[in-house]
Amino acid sequence: MPNLDIHASKEYTMMVEPGIMDRLGELVLRVANPKKVCLVSDTNVSELFAEKATRSLQKEGFDVNVLILAPGEGTKSMSSLNRILEFLAEHEYTRSDILVALGGGVIGDLTGFAAATYLRGIPFIQVPTTLLAAVDASIGGKTAINLKAGKNLAGAFWQPSLVLFDVDTVLELPEEQFKDGISEIIKSAVIGDAKLFDYLQTVENPKIIDFTMECVMGAVKVKRDLVAKDERDTGMRKLLNFGHTMGHAIELVSDYKISHGRAVAIGMLACAKAADKMGWSNRDCAIPIWQVIDKYGIDAKCPFDPHQLAAAALNDKKRSGDNISIVIPLEIGMGAIMDIPVHELEEFFRAGLE
Ligand code: GLY
């Protein structure tokens, strides 16, 4: 079954396989030799998978503690972080024990940040249970919580020791959440893998498991290569933000009622259209991007105006001084990072949304 090795400040493997959650305990032993394992999850995910994961860990003789938090973005907070840290201290976790994040991006980011800070750093394992987390948040070592002023404003780069994606978990995913993952996969294809884009464009009625494996392997390879070159996100890694400058603004202005995947789809399409109009792309990428977004039933109509979105985006942490970084497609499979003056952002958004 396919494995992907990630080369960053820590070398680790992502294993992508149907049913792999049953082997969680045995696979922990490949990367650590803990006495205790703390499984962190949320109420939605734990109902489906916590028992299976716990059973597998207990089979190997680990002392397992389970901490279940509320689902949703609100959990990515200082108080949840504090709860995990106090829980670990109460149960006398040491540096040779381990955390397991079982869930989507919220649980992964939060648990990773707790692992980065408890005793100045203990190992953790990512077990993503959404397609979105499997192709993005679970690899690359960005861990964070949100502050009042915005998303992911406190965090650390802290790589997991192992990432396990049980492909069978997508069978439990609501359709809208599956589409959120597809949107990030389209993003990876546009910035770095023309073959993956071609697969997304041409595949007809695939078996869901085969389709997921193909897409996850392709998208994670794009991210893996960027993380290997730029783990700390000072250069090429920013390509992964394609569609995200406008996307984050849409999430914010909609009060998070528009999902991340849909917001990114709108952002990608607008960016491709604007870049083509400005003559920055080698060829028009907006049409093929729109075709793929439409094929997977992602609603890419933008309900907000460019002025509102530019104002929200200018609070984004990707802004540096008088410029803001945006990602554009040069052609399908090749992205580029452009720094534009902040006062031109509204015009850029307008060009993309007209
Ligand atoms: N989610 C973007 C990154 O990991 O850099």
Alpha-carbon gap, residue 298 to 304, rounded angstroms: 17
Question: Ligand 1: which atom is nearest the Cα of residue 233?
Answer: 5
Give the chain's domains with CATH numbers. Answer: 3-172 (3.40.50.1970), 175-353 (1.20.1090.10)
The answer, yes or no, to whether any atom of ligand 1 lies below 6 A from the CB of 140, is yes
Alpha-carbon gap, residue 95 to 116, rounded angstroms: 11
pLDDT over threshold 90, residue 321: no
Q: How confident is the model over 269-290, as pLDDT tens digits? A: 999 999 999 999 999 999 999 9
CA neighbor of 127 nearest in space, from 146, 108, 113, 110: 108
Alpha-carbon gap, residue 77 to 92, rounded angstroms: 23
Q: What is the mean pLDDT of residues 34-62?
A: 98
Q: Please report the pLDDT score of residue 167 as a whole number.
A: 97
Alpha-carbon gap, residue 70 to 220, rounded angstroms: 28
Query: Is there a contact between 190 and 242 (Cβ–Cβ < 8 Å)?
Result: yes
pTM, 2 dp: 0.95
Alpha-carbon gap, residue 111 to 156, rounded angstroms: 11
pLDDT over threshold 60, residue 133: yes
Is residue 136 helix, strand or coil?
A: helix
Q: Ligand 1 centroid vs 351 CA: distance in angstroms?
A: 26
Question: Ligand 1: which atom is nearest the Cα of residue 142?
Answer: 4
Protein residue whose Cα sits closest to atom 3 of ligand 1: 240
Query: Is there a contact between 188 and 334 (Cβ–Cβ < 8 Å)?
Result: no
Q: Ligand 1 centroid vs 56 CA: distance in angstroms?
A: 30
pLDDT over threshold 60, residue 318: no
**Residue 22 CA to its chain's centroid (Å):** 24
Query: Is there a contact between 104 and 69 (Cβ–Cβ < 8 Å)?
Result: no
CA neighbor of 140 nearest in space, from 50, 43, 240: 240
Confidence of residue 2 (pLDDT cuts 50, 70, 90): confident
- pLDDT above 90 coverage of the chain, percent: 94
Confidence of residue 117 (pLDDT cuts 50, 70, 90): very high
Pocket test for ligand 1, best of 106, 132, 136, 188 (most atoms within 8 A of CB): 136
The answer, yes or no, to whether any atom of ligand 1 lies below 6 A from the CB of 240, is yes
The answer, yes or no, to whether any atom of ligand 1 lies below 6 A from the CB of 108, is no
Confidence of residue 30 (pLDDT cuts 50, 70, 90): very high
Q: Ligand 1 centroid vs 123 CA: distance in angstroms?
A: 20
Alpha-carbon gap, residue 258 to 264, rounded angstroms: 10
Q: Which residues contact 322 (CB under 8 A, 6 or more apart)?
A: 341, 342
The answer, yes or no, to whether any atom of ligand 1 lies below 6 A from the CB of 136, is yes
Q: What is the mean pLDDT of residues 306-327?
A: 84
pLDDT over threshold 60, residue 188: yes
Q: Ligand 1 centroid vs 45 CA: distance in angstroms?
A: 23
The answer, yes or no, to whether any atom of ligand 1 lies below 6 A from the CB of 142, is yes
Beta bridge partners of 156: 143
Q: What is the mean pLDDT of residues 210-220?
A: 98
Protein residue whose Cα sits closest to atom 2 of ligand 1: 240
Question: Ligand 1: which atom is nearest the Cα of residue 227?
Answer: 5
